[in-house]
Amino acid sequence: MSQRVALRNVTKRFGSVVALKTISLDIEEGEFITLLGPSGCGKTTTLRLIAGFNDPDQGQILLGDQDITNLPPQKREIGMVFQDYALFPHLTIKENIAFPLRERRTPKEKINDRVVELLELVRLPGVEERYPSELSGGQAQRISVARAVAYPPKVLLMDEPLGALDLKLREAMQLELRRIQQELQITTVFVTHDQTEAMNMSDRIAVMRNGEIEQVGTARDIYNFPQSSFVADFVGRINLLDAELLDKSGGIADLRILNDVNIRAKIATEVQSKSLCVGIRPEKLAIGRSGHEDRYDNQIPGKVVSSTFSGNLLDIFVDVGADKPFLVEQRPDQVPLEINTPVEVCWNAQDALVLSTE
Amino acid sequence: MKFVTYRLQKAIGRFFFGLYCSISYIFLLSPMVVVIGTSLNGPTENVEASFTFPPDSFSLYWYTQIPEGQIDALLLSFVLATVASLCGCLLGVPAALGLVRSNVPGKALISAIFRAPLQIPAIVTGIAFLQLFYWIGDLTGFYWQGSIIGLALGHIFIATPYVVGTVTAILQRFDTRLEEAAVIHGASPRRAFFRVTLPVIMPGVYAGALYAFMVSFSDVPVAIFLSSPGFVTYPVEIFFALENDFEPSLMASATLVIIICLLLLLLVQKVIGLDALLKVGGSRGVG
């Protein structure tokens, strides 16, 4: 039922705009994969190619063992959840959910049972006779999911389905969608620009940029071992500093930053590119009093610029002479430092990443 | 004190707004009131005396005097308006779809051609069709003027732009993702059109059909050229009656038409809902 999806050297151009340079991606059976990236990175184009709304210029799309590159969308047996739900406004909820079943000539009695079953799956029983305009955003999204999985599809596509919901509801729906996906064991391709959402839900994440896949991996992989400064910056928060490589040995690099400060950082992934930077996650940074720190491998002096309190975190911004102030995450029970306090920003070599930049 | 003056200002504002609306309605409705009132006059020695408003006496006498020709003409007009409205939809809906969806070169020109009947004075349209029918007649031996075909062709010509206008307006706001949702969930493009697109744009089609019906039903300048004696639309029949035998029975028959139209509108309101039609923004079709 649920099947794997493969993109083989797929390219897509719209007029003179290259939407996708060459993309290859293997999605396992039952896997939840998220295409993550800023707008215009090609994630929605990729989804629309899998759906069949657009044809690739080159390359193949496989569903299971079948080449579906030239199959029209209605024959692909795919389910899809749209950003603004795209429920049929003139049909009742029951008719909406039954739509894929009716189009595939499912017998009537079966449809009725299936609709009840699906409404239970999305935990919204009893709304059969209502119209989409009578539902809230969250409810409409559940119905949209029910419709997408009604005729058990080989793969489920979701195009920023939670974009229109407020934060609380979005978080609740993330869990709901993940639960439904796990219950049905269905191959799912999810598109979002929200990295938290991607990390919360996915088995694997494909980070995209300028029509290419920059990195594919689990949330942990991508967060801890980003392969470029773009990925490091897009997924989670990070402080980036341009760096000059002086020496490397045993997975540790000696680098020079800010023209005259020498530091050490871990080489997590092989770095090819000439221009480098070093990235340190804000939670790996510590703040010490000037002249009193010796527990860390690296430290640079700076001055506190500002601090913000967000309940679970205390963010402190320190000017260390770089383009942007350094962000240091501290526990919220710490006493906020006065502005202009001279401090040392400290970290260990293994917590700093050497990254390639373009 | 300030609070009181603010409330006073609001009250005055409301009063003048109400006054403005009332005057507008009186202006729009008074001709009809006069027609209906005059139709209720009783028979008098002198026909002119029967045109008083308000009526001197109340009777339905003039309703019994409506000439049979007017009833026949009314029936013809209904049939004709229905045909014009239906054919207008059959032509106008695909035309609107093409104009909104396709990227054919010269879209602006095609759209202008579809609007042309609105910009050509109807009397010119009438003459043009008459000429055309003479020419076709001379070629084939079949003269279409004075036949239902000729009248219908003329009215379809002037009515279709209204359907194109309303359907274009609603299509521009149509979310094409609905069609994608239909197709990805198993519907062929043709099924997607009939199960999703058409039902969703239906208010626009109804609005266009209603406009088309009214345009055909009230047309004089085109029909006057394409009618023949004994085969005349209602407005043309009334037009001639006003010139030749001006009687209060005219008022009676006009009143009947007003009542029929009101009933039809009520029916439309019951079945489709006029608000749905208004939302479509028919002004696009008119302008």
pLDDT in tens, A15-72: 889 999 999 999 999 999 999 999 989 999 999 999 999 999 999 999 998 999 999 9
Contact A27, A5 (CB under 8 A): yes
B280: pLDDT strictly greater than 60: no
Identify whether residues A268 and A320 lie together within a single domain.
yes
Most confident of A346-350, B29-33, B102-106: B29-33
B287: pLDDT strictly greater than 50: no
Contact B216, B80 (CB under 8 A): yes
Q: Is the dihedral of CA A123, A126, A128, A129 positive or negative?
A: negative
Identify whether residues A328 and A190 lie together within a single domain.
no
One-letter amino acid at A127 equals V
User: What's the pLDDT at A293?
Assistant: 61
* Tens-digit pLDDT profile for residues B143-159: 887 788 889 999 999 99
Identify whether residues A255 and A203 lie together within a single domain.
no
CB pairs under 8 A between A and B: 68
Torsion angle in degrees (nearest 10) through CA of B57, B58, B59, B65: 70
Q: Which domain holds residue A161?
A: 5-224
Phi, psi at A205, each rounded to 5°: -125, 135
Identify whether residues A118 and A151 lie together within a single domain.
yes
Identify whether residues A314 and A215 lie together within a single domain.
no
Strands A5-14 and A17-27: antiparallel
Q: What are the structure tokens assigned to A184, written together?
A: 């049905």
By CB atoms closer than 10 A (0-12, 13-18, 19+), residue B5 is exposed
A105: pLDDT strictly greater than 70: yes
Which of A181, A200, A224 terminates a domain? The answer is A224
A9: pLDDT strictly greater than 90: yes
Measured between beta carbons, the chain B residues lying within 8 angstroms of A146 are none
Identify whether residues A108 and A79 lie together within a single domain.
yes
* Tens-digit pLDDT profile for residues B183-215: 999 999 999 999 999 999 998 898 899 889 999
Which of A224, A256, A282 terminates a domain? The answer is A224
pTM given for the model: 0.82
Q: What is the CATH number of the domain that holds A96?
A: 3.40.50.300
User: What's the pLDDT at A165?
Assistant: 85
* Tens-digit pLDDT profile for residues B5-29: 888 989 999 999 999 999 999 999 9
User: What's the pLDDT at B285?
Assistant: 33
Report which of residues B213 and A338 the model is more confident about: B213
Identify whether residues A126 and A247 lie together within a single domain.
no
Which of A53, A89, A100 is facing B185, going by the closest CB pair? Answer: A100
Q: Tell me the nearest-neighbour CA distance from B177 into chain A, angstroms.
A: 6
Residues β-bridged to residue A7? A25, A61
Identify whether residues A92 and A168 lie together within a single domain.
yes
The answer as to whether A233 is a domain residue is no
Identify whether residues A203 and A243 lie together within a single domain.
no
Identify whether residues A130 and A64 lie together within a single domain.
yes
The answer as to whether A281 is a domain residue is yes
| Chain B residue with Cα closest to A71 | B184
- Kindly state whether B185 is in contact with chain A, defined as any CB-CB distance less than 8 angstroms: yes
**What confidence category does residue A118 fall into, taking pLDDT thresholds of 50, 70 and 90?**
very high
Q: What is the CATH number of the domain that holds A324?
A: 2.40.50.100
The answer as to whether A207 is a domain residue is yes
| Eight-class DSSP state of B49 | G
Q: Is the dihedral of CA A125, B177, A154, A141 positive or negative?
A: negative
Q: Tell me the nearest-neighbour CA distance from B160 into chain A, angstroms.
A: 26
The answer as to whether A330 is a domain residue is yes
User: What's the pLDDT at B106?
Assistant: 83
B1: pLDDT strictly greater than 70: no
Average pLDDT, chain B: 86
Measured between beta carbons, the chain A residues lying within 8 angstroms of B188 are 74
Question: Do the Cβ atoms of A104 and B188 come within 8 Å?
Answer: no
d(CA B64, CA A87): 56
* Tens-digit pLDDT profile for residues B46-96: 777 677 778 777 888 888 888 888 888 999 999 999 999 999 999 999 999
What are A's interface residues with B at a Cβ cutoff of 8 A? Answer: 51-53, 72-74, 76-80, 82, 84, 86-90, 99-100, 103-104, 147-148, 150-151, 157
d(CA A156, CA A137): 20
The pLDDT of B248-275, averaged and rounded, is 84
B281: pLDDT strictly greater than 50: no
User: What's the pLDDT at B276?
Assistant: 60
Identify whether residues A32 and A159 lie together within a single domain.
yes
- Kindly state whether B177 is in contact with chain A, defined as any CB-CB distance less than 8 angstroms: yes
Domain count, chain A: 2
User: What's the pLDDT at A159?
Assistant: 93
Q: How far apart are the first and last CA of chain A?
A: 42
Report which of residues A263 and A115 the model is more confident about: A115
- Helix/strand/coil for B231: strand
d(CA A198, CA A194): 6
A356: left (phi over 0), alpha (psi -120 to 50) or beta: beta
User: What's the pLDDT at A62?
Assistant: 93
Residue B249: which of B35, B92, B14, B9 has the closest Cα? B35
A355: pLDDT strictly greater than 90: no
The answer as to whether A32 is a domain residue is yes
Mutate to test the interface with A, among B185, B198, B206 (most CBs of A within 10 A): B185
The pLDDT of B235-251, averaged and rounded, is 85
Residues β-bridged to residue B228? B231
As a three-state string, the secondary structure of chain A is CCCCEEEEEEEEEECCEEEEEEEEEEECCCCEEEEECCCCCCHHHHHHHHHCCCCCCEEEEEECCEECCCCCHHHCCEEEECCCCCCCCCCCHHHHHHHHHHHCCCCHHHHHHHHHHHHHHCCCCCCCCCCHHHCCHHHHHHHHHHHHHHCCCCEEEEECCCCCCCHHHHHHHHHHHHHHHHHHCCCEEEEECCHHHHHHHCCEEEEEECCEEEEEECHHHHHHCCCEHHHHHHCCCCEEEEEEEEEEECCEEEEEECCCEEEEEECCCCCCCCCEEEEECHHHCEEEECCCCCCCCEEEEEEEEEEEECCCCEEEEEECCCCCCEEEEECCCCCCCCCCCEEEEEECHHHEEEEECC
Which of A168, A195, A224 terminates a domain? The answer is A224
Q: What are the structure tokens assigned to A56, written together?
A: 């690739």
User: What's the pLDDT at B278?
Assistant: 58
Which of B175, B180, B185 is facing A99, going by the closest CB pair? Answer: B185
d(CA A345, CA A350): 15
The pLDDT of A102-119, averaged and rounded, is 92
Residue A241 neighbours by CB under 8 Å, 6+ apart: A257, A258, A277, A278, A279, A322
d(CA A96, CA A115): 10
**What confidence category does residue A114 fall into, taking pLDDT thresholds of 50, 70 and 90?**
very high
Identify whether residues A154 and A248 lie together within a single domain.
no
Question: Do the Cβ atoms of A103 and B175 come within 8 Å?
Answer: no
Contact B145, B225 (CB under 8 A): yes
Which of A73, A78, A86 is facing B177, going by the closest CB pair? Answer: A86
Q: Tell me the nearest-neighbour CA distance from A74 into chain B, angstroms.
A: 4
- Kindly state whether B24 is in contact with chain A, defined as any CB-CB distance less than 8 angstroms: no
A153 preceded by cis ω (within 30°)? no
The answer as to whether A82 is a domain residue is yes
The answer as to whether A232 is a domain residue is no
Average pLDDT, chain A: 89
The pLDDT of A180-199, averaged and rounded, is 93
The answer as to whether A41 is a domain residue is yes
Which of A73, A87, A89 is facing B183, going by the closest CB pair? Answer: A73
Within 10 angstroms of residue B148's Cβ, the number of other Cβ atoms is 14
Residue B142 neighbours by CB under 8 Å, 6+ apart: B136
Place of tokens 């994969």: A33
